[in-house]
Amino acid sequence: MATTLTHRAASAPGPASRDNLLEQLLAKARPLVMGVLNVTPDSFFDGGRYLDPHAAVAHARRLAAESADIIDVGAQSTRPYGGAVRIAVEEERARLASVLSDVVAIGVPVSIDTLSAAIAAWALKLGAAIVNDVWGLQGDADMARVVAEHEAPVIIMHNRETADPAIDVVAEVTGFFRRSLDIAARAGIPRERIVLDPGIGFGKTAEQSLICIARLDAWRDLGVPLLVGASRKRFIHSVAPSEPMHRLGGSLAAHLLAVENGAAIVRVHDVAATAQALAVAAAIRRAR
């Protein structure tokens, strides 16, 4: 699956380019692949691998070469199973400062994965194009304002502090999304700049994560694209016991079925393998 994006010299995208970026990406009429770049010591799969700026930028270039449509850069671990250390904004900015401009210069749209509105605003000024908020505009009270002022697309992810096996997870996620969409509307963020993510593994049991992938159609009537990030996550272990480094097969299966069920974007650690799997699946569907 070859990317149609042209790698270009670094320049911070202006409001007009951000305003129609999501539309341009989705116009490719195929699932988009978001590649993960964690410049953290404690992310559940690749923590510590890309703390060195040279290693981080080299990995971003590799993601681009493997046909990533978006590169998702984060410096604050948001691992979904607890234990992630919340760092100060200054430390998060310092981790990003040594890599963000160079990653933007690669020419693939960059999303900033952060809990902090201050970091989101800073990253957008440096050329990041998208905000990926794992608390869906319901964490930092300034996040919706920052997104609106920069006219940036935003990924709204469902989250909750703890998993509750007794809840109806589809109803829970639906209610969260509706609250987030209301916050977005009041801040002036139009629907065409919003992506919804059910937050696989975040505040969910393994069974609830499986249900979210199986029931993606429940959120289609909200009228915005859906993203699924199932890469290497623990729910795979509940089906096929394995450590994160051995969960590629489960990740591919989850993302293929997520796309089958309506996901427009998948967030992955393994861009080349995912792009190949999606391309082959699409070819088989066409052969029908």
Q: Is 199 left (phi over 0), alpha (psi -120 to 50) or beta?
A: left
The pLDDT > 70 percentage for the chain reads 89
pLDDT-based confidence at 82, cuts 50/70/90? Answer: low
Q: Minimal CA–CA distance to 165: which of 199, 200, 201, 207? A: 207
Active site residues: 233, 267
Q: Which CATH number fits domain 32-287: 3.20.20.20, 1.10.1580.10, 3.40.50.2000, 3.40.50.970?
A: 3.20.20.20
Q: Is 286 exposed, middle or buried (0-12, 13-18, 19+ CB in 10 A)?
A: exposed
SS3 content of the chain, % helix, strand, coil (to 5): 45, 10, 45
More confident residue, 154 or 40: 154
Q: What is the pLDDT of residue 42?
A: 55
Could you tell me the CA-to-CA distances from 203 to 73, 97, 217 in Å, in that order?
Answer: 22, 30, 20
User: Are the CB atoms for 268 and 34 separated by under 8 Å?
Assistant: yes
pTM: 0.91
Domain residue ranges of the chain, discontinuous segments joined by +: 32-287
Q: What is the pLDDT of residue 19?
A: 73
| Residues counted in the chain | 288
Look at residue 47 and tell me whether its pLDDT is greater than 80.
Answer: no
Q: What is the pLDDT of residue 29?
A: 85
**Average pLDDT for 167-177:** 98
- CA dist., res. 41 & res. 16, Å (int): 36
pLDDT tens track for 20-42? 999 999 999 899 999 999 998 75
Q: What is the pLDDT of residue 79?
A: 56
- CA dist., res. 116 & res. 139, Å (int): 8
